[in-house]
Amino acid sequence: MRKTLLYSALILLSALFIAPFYWTFMTAVKSSAELYQFPPVFWPSEWHWENFAAAWNKQPFGTYLTNSLIVVVLSTIGQLISSSLVAYGFARFRFPGRDPLFILLLATMMIPWDVKMIPLYMEFNLLGWINTLKPLIVPAYFADAFFVFLLRQYIMTVPMEIDEAARMDGANAFDIYWRIHLPLMMPALVLVGTFHFMNAWNDYLGPLIFLNDQSKYTLTLGLSMFKGLHEVDVTSIAAITVILCLPPLALFFVAQRYIMDGAVGSSVKG
């Protein structure tokens, strides 16, 4: 009885979250005649699957995809390594300046992006990085405050006794990071990797500012190009949106099992 109630509520609520996505998908496969019909067409009379290929071929989306993949893969690797190292440093050591530095780290999250944007552009310009993918990749190797905070909170739920036992066995600080905390925080790392993947994959402002040539564009820039000056190509926007959602969605579906059902609870008992 209680389970039935719970599932009914979940189905109802999830419908609210899925409906707009359903609507986008249907818009992508509708004929142009049914696009603006009222009352809205919820189930198209004919399915135009060719809309996907047509939208993909309107711009060099193959090139965009390659660029997006380079950015996403390289920056995710950097983010995982750097953020976990820094989080471990803050969670497990006492050193002069730790607390002020950590407050500084938190403070960097509160800096409106607008503040840094213009100076950053000038800095990357000086380095000759404008119109390359570097501004979208390299900063990820220097840890992100949001992820450091998340991982630090996670490490702090692990009892200190585990570290001490390892130290008694002769492990040094890096061993403890590498052999104990890295495996223990795997679920949180998958969470960080997934979040970063989505951010990098969906990033719009970064590519918009740092890239000029169409040959360097990422997928989101290509998508925004459909919002032309004169008309908005609704079918192509919807079709590319659907395609763009699939990789992060697939990744999330695989990752969420690992994040949630991983060995979190059992190893943290202490």
Partner 1 sequence: MDMTYAGAEPKVARRKRSAIARYAAPYLFISPWILGFLFFTLGPLVFSLTMSFYDWPVVGERTFVGLENYRSMLFEDPQFWESLWITVKFAAIYVPFNIVMSFLLALMLHHITFASGFFRTAFYLPSVISGVALVTIWSWIYSREYGLLNFMLSFVGIDGPNWLGDPNLAIVAIIIASLWGLGGTMLILLTGLKAIPKELYEAATVSGVPGWAQMVFITLPMLGPMLLFTFITSIISAFQQLTIALLLTKGGPLGSTYFFAMYIYDNAFKYFDMGYAAAGSWVMFIIVLLLSLGVMRWSAAWVYYEGEVRENDGDRNA
Residues in region 20-49 near partner 1 by CB under 8 A:
20-21, 23-24, 27, 36, 38-40
Task: Compute the least distance from the CB of residue 36 to partner 1, in Å.
Answer: 7
Q: Is there binding between residue 214 and partner 1 (CB under 8 A)?
A: no
Q: Is there binding between residue 74 and partner 1 (CB under 8 A)?
A: no
Q: Tokens 């997928």 sit at which residue?
A: 219
**Which of residues 7, 49, 50, 62 is near partner 1 by CB under 8 A?**
7
Name 194's Cβ contacts closer than 8 Å, sequence gap at least 6: 248, 251, 252, 255, 259
Cα–Cα distance for residue pair 199/196, rounded to 1 Å: 5
Q: Is there binding between residue 159 and partner 1 (CB under 8 A)?
A: yes
Cβ burial of 198 (10 Å; 0-12, 13-18, 19+) is middle
Q: Is there binding between residue 126 and partner 1 (CB under 8 A)?
A: no
Using CB under 8 A, which of the segments 45-53, 57-65, 161-169, 209-217 binds partner 1?
Answer: 161-169
User: Distance between terminal CA atoms of the chain?
Assistant: 36
Give whichever of 73 and 98 is closer to partner 1, judged by the CB atom. Answer: 98
Neighbours of 112 (CB within 10 A): 7
User: Total number of residues binding partner 1 (CB under 8 A)?
Assistant: 110
Say if residues 121 and 130 touch (Cβ distance below 8 Å): yes
Task: Compute the least distance from the CB of residue 39 to partner 1, in Å.
Answer: 6
Task: Compute the least distance from the CB of residue 60 to partner 1, in Å.
Answer: 18
Give whichever of 45 and 103 is closer to partner 1, judged by the CB atom. Answer: 103
**Which of residues 100, 128, 228, 270 is near partner 1 by CB under 8 A?**
270
Q: According to CB under 8 A, which residues from 180 to 209 bind partner 1?
A: 187-188, 191, 195, 198, 201-202, 204
Long-range contacts of 120-128 (CB under 8 A, 24+ apart): 121/209, 121/210, 124/210
Task: Compute the least distance from the CB of residue 228 to partner 1, in Å.
Answer: 13
Cis, bond preceding 96 (omega within 30 deg of 0)? no
Give whichever of 70 and 234 is closer to partner 1, judged by the CB atom. Answer: 234
Q: Is there binding between residue 100 and partner 1 (CB under 8 A)?
A: no
Q: Is there binding between residue 227 and partner 1 (CB under 8 A)?
A: yes
Tokens of 227: 């919002």
Nearest to residue 206, comparing CAs of 148, 100, 124? 124
